[in-house]
Amino acid sequence: MRKTPFRTTLRAFLLGLTAFVLVATSTQPAYAAETLTATYKLGTDWGSGYGADYTIKNSGTSATTSWTLKFTLPTGHRLAGLWNGTYTTSGQDVTVKNAGWNGAIAPGGTLSVGFNVSYSGTNSPPTNCTINGADCGGGGGGDDTQPPTVPGNLQATGATTNSVSLSWTPSTDNKGVTGYEIHVNGALKTTAPGTSSSAVVSGLTPNTTYTFKVRATDAKGNLSGFSNEVSKATLPDDGGPGDPGAYKKVGYFTQWGIYDRNYFVKDLVTSGAAANLTHINYAFGNVNEQGRCFEANQAGVGDAWADYQRRFDGSQTVDGVGDVYNQPLAGNFNQLKKLKAKYPKLKVMISLGGWTWSKYLSNAALPANRAAFVSSCIDLYLKGNLPCISGEPQCGAGVAEGIFDGVDLDWEWPASEGNTGNVVRPEDKQNYTALVAEFRRQIDAYGNTKGRKYELTAFVPADPVKITAGFEVPQLMANFDFVTVQGYDLHGAWDNQTNHQAQIYSPAADPWPAKWSSDLAINEWLTRGAPAAKLVLGVPAFGRGWTGVPSANNGLYQIGTGPAPGKYENGIEDYDVLKNKAGTRYQDPAAMAIWLYANGEFWSYDDTATMTAKMGYIKSKKLGGAMIWSLDGDDGTLTAAINNGLK
């Protein structure tokens, strides 16, 4: 149940995505059983060039064996690189064919072809797109020259420090509108789907007035006239968290750490971690198939024994007092209650889901289930009504009330692949937004009855593809107190090539086509409208390791033979083990990373110096703080580095 690895694949590489995806459909008579569409999406524009991609989708009933994508770049634009395919150019025309490994696209499957373009003048999108000879947007070819109607009644409906919300009356078109161009101060800034009538323009400067206009496009690249112009100012920047006390310093305490690792709540005191943290997330609470929070004593399903039934002896408790058989509350919950008495400013959150227990969160988010789901979680964890299980005396109404200060949602992942067997639905994205709103509504209502506020947080992905698929960022951030952005498991032994698993930046020497980094992930959330002060960066108290690694370049970027042996699991090791492991340690300042190499083993992990540097990064980006996974891998020195670095 460790956090999910950030499983990297070439076809998941979407560098610099913005918040919007153009949606298109196509009919392809020559390939009726494998109906393909190709959807264009603009990424980051840096003034003299931009990144973009086409997402190819097979909406047919059989897999493809090959595909050919063609499009035309505007005059003054030049293709500067392309991945996930082989390409040729003839003037402004680009032809892309599948690589040897990605010709087959399963029914319902997608594949992203990314590319960079350099340009002079004004950025304009490609035209004349075809996929396997048919129109990319469903026009079926032909000589359509009729542009869409002009979008009407453009309005600026809201603003944050770095974004402005827009709405308009949709355009119409004889073949269908495939997208909208959104121009800021006279230049194309981003795009929105053809089905949209609103958008959030992100990546803006605080306290600055901008002018906006919108025009529509169809599958043949015909452009409407521009809408009316509107102006809107972004809000002034409040400087981020400001005083050090405002930074969130979060650590996950794992339910199962009390077993193999012998890591108890008491160790949060003796290691100094509790004094250095603002929040503890208790991992995890499970959700059943009917979409309800519950407790059980069943392997792989629930561990009520660890949560609230196990009686600890005096050597294992926060206050040195041993538990007795018939006390109403025991286990980790009781020790967390004692910990909060010792550290009254410390908040404890129940984290729901995780890599293993996200299986039925899609069910819980369904309209018919979400209100009851939220209510069941409030009843169990905030009201503390614990069921009697296995004949143990620890249970009853309200016995755990006051332990948890809120809910942390760790759904891995809405509308995207996670653990094997997870329920995944296309509508998870919208359902997740509604679920978060329902949590906010109910916990606020319950908090009002108690005269207090309960917090709502989440763990969210670094992968731009997963963000696009499952997260409506501006709407979500309005209801979250903060979210933790995954900043580790960027690489691991699931890749055969060694790399930094938690780098802040991807240096120029990084050979991996997808330049995964914490900075890329943070910028993805910022450009999609998340306030910096609500973003907490996830950092690891563990390392990822490879074995059979040659000594060239001291093991970095080399091909290994598999995962290195670990104390609890191959390919992974706790920081408090790695810090004492023999070998030579190397710094990579460009990546803000460290690695250990010895006898063919390569380990990527964070030490205290790296952690301190990361806290400087958090300050420079005016982020909300840091989260460490997980506390049972730390001897207290990493949490001390987090606390000291955010002073």
Q: In what order do the strands lie in the sheet with 134-135?
A: 86-90, 93-97, 68-72, 127-131, 134-135
Q: For residue 372, report the phi and psi dihedrals to the nearest 5 degrees.
A: -70, -35
Cα gap 502→518, rounded to integer Å: 7
Burial (0-12, 13-18, 19+ Cβ within 10 Å), 67: buried
DSSP string computed for 182-237: EEETTEEEEEEETT-SEEEE-SPPTT-EEEEEEEEEETT--BPPP---EEEEPPPP
| Helical ranges in 304-402 per DSSP H | 304, 331-342, 361-364, 370-377
* Cα 110-114-115 angle, rounded to 5 deg: 160
**Owner of token pair 């979060």:** 250
Query: Pick from 164, 203, 211, 204: which is nearest to 185 by CA?
Result: 211
Helix (H, G, I), strand (E, B) or coil at 9: coil
CB count in 10 Å sphere of residue 511: 9
Is 295 known to be catalytic?
no
Is there a cis peptide before residue 26, judged by omega within 30 degrees of 0?
A: no
Give the number of residues written for the chain: 647
Q: How many helices (H) and strands (E) does the chain have?
A: 13, 33
Cα gap 116→439, rounded to integer Å: 41
Q: Within the chain, what is the greatest distance between any pair of CA atoms?
A: 82
DSSP β-bridge partners for residue 179:
193, 217
Active-site pick, 34, 181, 295, 412: 412
User: Taking a C-beta distance cutoff of 8 angstroms, is the pair 465, 53 a contact?
Assistant: no
**Residues in contact with 354: Cβ distance below 8 Å, sequence separation at least 6, in sequence order:** 1, 3, 283, 284, 410, 412
Question: How close are the terminal C-alpha atoms of the chain, in Å?
Answer: 32
3-state SS, one letter per residue, for 75-136: CCEEEEEEECCEEEEECCEEEEECCCCCCCCCCCCEEEEEEEEEECCCCCCCEEEEECCEEC
Query: Pick from 411, 530, 413: which is nearest to 481 by CA?
Result: 530
**Residues in contact with 560: Cβ distance below 8 Å, sequence separation at least 6, in sequence order:** 493, 496, 497, 498, 546, 547, 548, 549, 602
* Cα 633-634-639 angle, rounded to 5 deg: 140
Cα gap 54→68, rounded to integer Å: 12
Q: Which two tokens stand for residue 48?
A: 């003299």
CB count in 10 Å sphere of residue 135: 24
DSSP secondary structure letter of residue 317: S
Which residues are annotated as catalytic? Answer: 412
